[in-house]
Amino acid sequence: MTPLLEVHDLHVEIPVPHGHLHAVRGVSLTVDAGESIGIVGESGSGKSITLRALLGLLPQPAQVTKGSIILDGVDVTGLPERRRTKMLTDAMSMVFQDSLTALNPVMRVGDQIAEVPRRRLSMSKSAAHGRAVELMDQVGIPEPERRFRAYPHQLSGGMRQRVCIAIALSAEPRLILADEPTTALDVTIQAQVLAVIDGLRRGRQLGVVLVSHDLAVISQTCSRIYVMYAGRVIESGSIRQLISLARHPYTFALLRAVPDPDLPVHRLLTIPGQPPDLTAVPAGCSFAPRCALAEPACREVDPALMAVPEEPDHGSACIRLETASQWLDWTPVDLPDLLEKT
Amino acid sequence: MTVISVPGSATDTVAPTTRRRRKRNVLLIVGLTLFGLLVLVAILAPVLATHDPIQQDLAHARLAPGSPGHLLGTDELGRDVFSRLLYGARVDLRVGVLAVVSPFIIGTVLGLISGWFGGWLDTLIMRIVDVVIAFPFFVLVIALVFALGAGTGSIYLAITMVGWVAYCRIVRGEVLVAKEQEYSLAARASGLPTWRILFRHLLPNVVLQAIVYSMSDIVLTILAIVTLGYLGLGVPPPTPDWGSMIQDGQQFLLTQWYLATIPGLAVVITGLALALIADGLVERFDRT
């Protein structure tokens, strides 16, 4: 079966006054129909840029400099821009982080949902209206007929994010790109919104790419995780593989940074230092300067994503990946048992 | 522990503050009423006027306000000031509003295009704007009217050619902000055609500042017409307009001060009405 979306070695560069900011440095990922994948990483790791590159919505000076995007087995990278944009926007929709800015403040939410059915799928006005109400119902908006006429500022954050999801669905995409869709919401609403997305994925065989810096959110909904650091995927694998034994010190440290309410830990575990300056990436592994386990060799070669022995779908870009089982003994604090809670 | 939950209704409800604010928008109501009255007076000028505004009567020149038959007196040629004021409203409001419409439209469209597409198009448009702005407003308008010949047609054209730059700049700046808002990205992500994104999604969000500016621009335009009239480049006589009335009355400022003051007050009231509307609009629509 050909995957719904395949990305190979994607590079994005942003021209800055002195040189180039290499925001995405060779990201590869695959999404199947009905599959949900997660991209985690800290701010500036290139998660959102990657998503925007997929839809051809990069902020102005940024450019895809290398790599290919393969949609249903068709490489769209070489196509003329107009055609490529059409293919990408036909197949994918995006849900944004802040539902208040993602909705047009001066347009009724119903009209915003009905717009794509009406304009792009050329439905009649009443059919598009019916479609919008139906979508609002599907994403769990009570009294959709009444809410149709509301303006974004009249709805709560959770309702607004549902409207955004309804808008994303209105184009009948096969893939939804969600850029931190729950960051602006409180945890109960967050769970509801994630449940809506997950229900739609099952019901419609939608592919989902969920970007977040919240590991708990990702682990609830995604079957596969890509961990990004400084514009690269440094580890990928199933949620179970990553949580049971992270094969990259960054993932390992990230998991330890999740506070465990059951442990009497008084200090949050953090990763010291700053991500590297992407205008001048140092030689060697980009995480090495912050890595507790770095050795001299780490500062010389930047390892590619390598398959972990005996775990076919698990990849790590660390030269020390085989020693992962001992990392816990080498660093003092216990890893909270995330797996049990998911 | 009791949990109060009202399913559904807790999450929406129209914010009560919006409703309250709408009721209390005194500025907008007063401004609109005042401007409405002015427009009404202009429309009803033939009905309300007591005399023909261009009918001279040298025997009864420069009568004081309150003279029998002449509510606001007569000017140096014996024309009824009250009637001229009413007919002047017709000319000035029409020219003021019309001369703002085309710069508004041209400037807004070019600003949208400039801000949205960026690149060489933006550079080109903004350099033209810079060139126009480099000249003082009045100097350029006067030069253009002079070149085109006096008359309302030339005034429209000259003010359009100079006035659009302000709208272009305002709208472009707003577009630069709005196009990085996620709703613009969302509109692009759903593959809507560019013209639709521009006019349906961006325009309603960026046009407010331009509308607010246009209110004060109408006053400026009326002032420009007044100034042009003063220089003999305005509405050709004997058509009554406030500018030429002020100019004509100016020479009698020491003896018949009201000849220049009455039309001047009309300009002030128009300006006040429009300024109130502008402030009211900001209060009404600005959600920040």
* pLDDT tens sequence across A302-312: 888 888 887 77
**Alpha-carbon gap: A97 to the closest alpha carbon of chain B (Å):** 9
Q: pLDDT tens digits, residue range A113-158?
A: 888 888 877 888 888 888 899 888 888 888 888 888 888 888 888 8
Whole-number Å distance between alpha carbons of A328 and A339:
16
Residue of B11, B182, B200 lying closest to A102 (CB–CB):
B182
**Dist. CA A149–CA A136, nearest whole Å:** 12
Write out chain A residues lying below 8 Å of B13, CB-based.
154
Question: Are A318 and A291 in contact, with CB atoms under 8 Å apart?
Answer: no
- Predicted local confidence at residue B107, as pLDDT: 93
pLDDT for res A58: 82
Residue A201 in contact with partner chain B when CB distance is under 8 A: no
pLDDT score of A48 more than 50: yes
pLDDT band at B71 (very low <50, low <70, confident <90, very high): low
Distance CA A196, CA A181 (A): 12
User: What is the pTM assigned to this prediction?
Assistant: 0.74
Using pLDDT thresholds of 50, 70 and 90, give the confidence band for residue B129: very high
- Report the complex ipTM: 0.71
Can you say whether residue B132 is alpha, beta or left, with left for phi > 0 and alpha for psi between -120 and 50 degrees?
A: alpha
Are B14 and A89 within 8 A, CB to CB? no
How far, CA to CA in Å, does B30 sit from each of A6, A184, B96, B279, B284? 62, 41, 20, 11, 14
Instruction: Write B68-76 long-range contacts (CB < 8 A, 24+).
Output: B72/B258, B72/B262, B73/B256, B73/B258, B73/B259, B75/B245, B75/B248, B75/B249, B75/B259, B76/B248, B76/B252, B76/B259
Q: Among A101, A156, A158, whose Cβ lies nearest the Cβ of B182? A: A101
User: Is A159's CB within 8 Å of B11's CB?
Assistant: yes
SS3 B67: strand
Per-residue confidence (pLDDT) for residue B113, from 0 to 100: 92
Strand, helix or coil at A27?
strand
